[in-house]
């Protein structure tokens, strides 16, 4: 086997509470994460050296890219004297709060594990992934989960009932460090009840979950487009709407596909990209190997 192609899902935050500061200066969080059926496609090929391509994407293909960091961490931690050529076909918008970069890193780790027969467990891959970024362990696990610490302490949850998401990405994006700096300055009037949200998920009730779908970072975002996009989702019949992660993407939760597609269509004038997706219980998977 010399080449694998891996699909890795993006994520949405169903709720996000900022709980404090860790010793390393990162904010601690309590949040609900959901993998969705919007995928990065990552090709990993055996090589003696390293290379990275991100065709048709503004993302820099350099050593600061999460895909490159993941490969370096994999070889460092396994001790394998090898390399790889990586091609990332972006589908997830950047600076969206949807963990596209973390999905890329997760895809590389899964791809290298298969390509070189390393037989690392999911737990071992997550330990390597955490060296790359706090969202990478969830991106490896996928599904529905509660995340604590800086995002790396994961509690798998029951899959969501059948539902649909309409996702709208505004023009431009949000820097995660900048979003947290604004939060530190402005705070938030929101206080999501994560325990109640978890109970609703475990009960399989979208209507019970909806009132608890809040994001403490959204208030500090202060962008009129966020509020306008949420209004579009709500008018189309969303059970709940919110910003995901540190922004800037906004989504609505819908019980029916037709309503989600209508919301996405209505959001197009205010968005650079729109998507309709479903929750997925899977993390990254190798879809072809040669």
- How far apart CA 93 and CA 36 sit, in angstroms, is 14
Q: In the chain, which residue ranges form alpha helices assigned H by DSSP?
A: 66-78, 100-115, 122-130, 136-141, 176-186, 194-202, 206-209, 218-221, 224-235, 257-267
69 among known catalytic residues:
no
Task: Look at residue 265 and give its three-state secondary structure.
Answer: helix
Distance separating the N- and C-terminal Cα atoms of the chain: 5
Q: Please identify which of the residues 11, 30, 69, 104 carries the catalytic annotation.
A: 11
What is the rounded CA–CA span in Å between residue 274 and residue 249? 9
Does the annotation mark 11 as catalytic? yes
Among candidate residues 30, 69, 90, 135, the one labeled active-site is 135
Task: List the one residue out of 161, 141, 160, 167 whose CA is nearest residue 152.
Answer: 141
Cis peptide before 248 (omega within 30 of 0): yes
Are 72 and 34 spatial neighbours (Cβ–Cβ below 8 Å)? no
- Rounded to whole angstroms, the Cα distance separating 278 from 289 reads 26
SS3 state at 250: strand
Contact 106, 138 (CB under 8 A): no
The structure tokens listed for 239 are 């059970």
Q: Which residues are catalytic?
A: 11, 135
């Amino acid at each position: 086997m010399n080449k694998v192609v891996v699909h890795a899902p993006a994520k949405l935050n169903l709720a996000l509470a900022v709980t404090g500061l860790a010793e390393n200066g990162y904010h601690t969080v309590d949040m609900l994460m959901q993998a969705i059926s919007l995928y990065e496609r990552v090709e990993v090929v055996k090589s003696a050296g390293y290379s990275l391509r991100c065709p048709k994407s503004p993302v820099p293909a350099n050593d600061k890219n999460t895909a490159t960091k993941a490969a370096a961490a994999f070889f460092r931690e396994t001790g394998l004297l090898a390399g790889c050529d990586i091609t990332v076909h972006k589908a997830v918008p950047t600076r969206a709060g949807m963990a596209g970069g973390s999905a890329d890193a997760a895809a590389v780790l899964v791809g290298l594990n298969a390509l070189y027969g390393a037989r690392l467990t999911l737990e071992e891959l997550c330990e390597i992934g955490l060296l790359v970024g706090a969202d990478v362990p969830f991106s490896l696990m996928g599904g529905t989960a509660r995340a604590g610490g800086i995002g790396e302490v994961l509690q798998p949850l029951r899959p969501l009932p059948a539902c649909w998401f309409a996702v709208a990405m505004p023009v431009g994006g949000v820097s995660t460090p900048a979003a947290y700096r604004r939060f530190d300055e402005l705070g938030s009037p929101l206080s999501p009840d994560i325990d109640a949200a978890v109970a609703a998920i475990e009960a399989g009730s979208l209507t019970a979950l909806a009132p608890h779908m809040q994001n403490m970072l959204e208030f500090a975002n202060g962008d009129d487009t966020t509020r306008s996009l949420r209004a579009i989702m709500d008018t189309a019949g969303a059970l709940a709407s919110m910003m995901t992660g540190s922004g800037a993407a906004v989504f609505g939760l819908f019980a029916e596909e037709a309503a989600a597609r209508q919301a996405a269509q209505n959001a197009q004038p205010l968005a650079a990209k729109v998507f309709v997706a479903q929750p997925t219980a899977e993390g990254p998977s190798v879809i072809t190997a040669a």
